Amino acid sequence: MGPHPAVADVRRAVRESLADLTRGGLVLVACSGGADSLALAAGLGFAAPRMGLRAGLVTVDHGLQEGSARQADRVVRLAPSLGLDPAEVLAVTVGTEGGPEAAAREARYAALAGAAERLGAEAVLLGHTRDDQAETVLLGLVRGSGPRSLAGMAGIVGIYRRPLLGLGRSVTTVACAALGLAPWEDPHNRETRYTRVRVREHVLPVLCEELGPGIPEALARTAALCRDDADALDAWADRVYREALTGRPPAEEASPPARPAVCLSVSVLASCPAAVRRRVIRRAALAAGSPSGALAAVHIAEADRLVTEWRGQRAVHMPGGVGVVRNAGVLAFERMCWGSPAKESRAQG
């Protein structure tokens, strides 16, 4: 008699996710002890040796609630029974920048990346499911962040892999029960002060009740379609960015910038569709030193107006002290000392 269908689904998802890895390589699973990551850990422990891979486990102790160290220790002690070795607790210190969710995520990924490098892992598996993907798409809609945000989470990004994106959260719960595993219920997953929890607990259930039970699946399909479109536009923007780079420094430089200016041909930018042009402008702003997390659509739109609605405007302010000026057919992105007459008045068609 074969495994329970839910168990089989998880194992198959793991096998498909790891099919391209080199035999003998180490794969780590990031496991909190919740149903999703616990089912994933069990699936990895089963599939890895049959694929000629080594499998280990890491669990992150954020230290944000009483008993977190005990829970992390419990997960590590469970690893041998799942066929996972090595198994480690990664204790982190969570900061405050960007809010509690963002700060915890940043600390968690930094710890996972460090563990993967130290242990020589080829991949780190994350337990995000189709329901998590649906939540991510809804959050992207609320932010109005565009198709890249609506594309949700990718199945593979660098060393990180998400084998369960095609499976619902109910599958992992059933798989754990079928395997006799007792998942841990993280109290933070019920804390409605977190935006994602409110989406999970209130918004998605209302949508399913009012519009039908297939909402998570539909949102996940939307993410996949948006990802295909965004990937195509990004590849187009990469080509245009290389073509638009002029290498020309801005004229009348009062003092050397902190890093070389990024200069783009206005005529090349003007020949592109808006979706491509704005992606190119974002790349230039990031290359000049604007922080990704602070760079918003409004900044990109203002810089875009220097191309499409040129009226002799002064420099556009970007996060990170970066300014954008148009001069002699070139759009220059550079660090600026705001208020300097030479800098501000240099922009001319």
Binding site residues for ATP, as ranges?
32-37
DSSP state of 245: B
φ, ψ for residue 52, nearest 5 deg: 75, 25
Q: Which residues contact 347 (CB under 8 A, 6 or more apart)?
A: 312, 313, 314, 315, 325, 326, 327
Where helices occur in 168-288 by DSSP H, the ranges are: 169-179, 195-198, 204-211, 215-244, 266-270, 274-288
CA atoms within 13 A on the CB side of 287: 18
* Residues composing the chain: 349
φ, ψ for residue 79, nearest 5 deg: -55, -45
Tell me if residue 51 falls in helix, strand or coil: coil
In this structure, what is the dihedral angle of CA atoms 84, 17, 138, 273, given to the nearest 10 degrees? 140
Task: Report the chain's terminal Cα–Cα distance, integer Å.
Answer: 76
Question: Per the annotation, where are the binding residues?
Answer: 32-37
Q: Tell me if 84 sits within 8 A of 121, measured CB to CB.
A: no
Q: By C-alpha distance, which of 319, 302, 332 is closest to 343?
A: 332
Q: By C-alpha distance, which of 144, 138, 64 is closest to 105?
A: 64
Where helices occur in the chain by DSSP H, the ranges are: 5-18, 35-50, 68-78, 100-119, 130-143, 147-150, 169-179, 195-198, 204-211, 215-244, 266-270, 274-288, 297-308, 341-345
331 bridge partner residues: 264, 326
Q: Within 10 A of 233 (CB to CB), how many other CB atoms are there?
A: 18
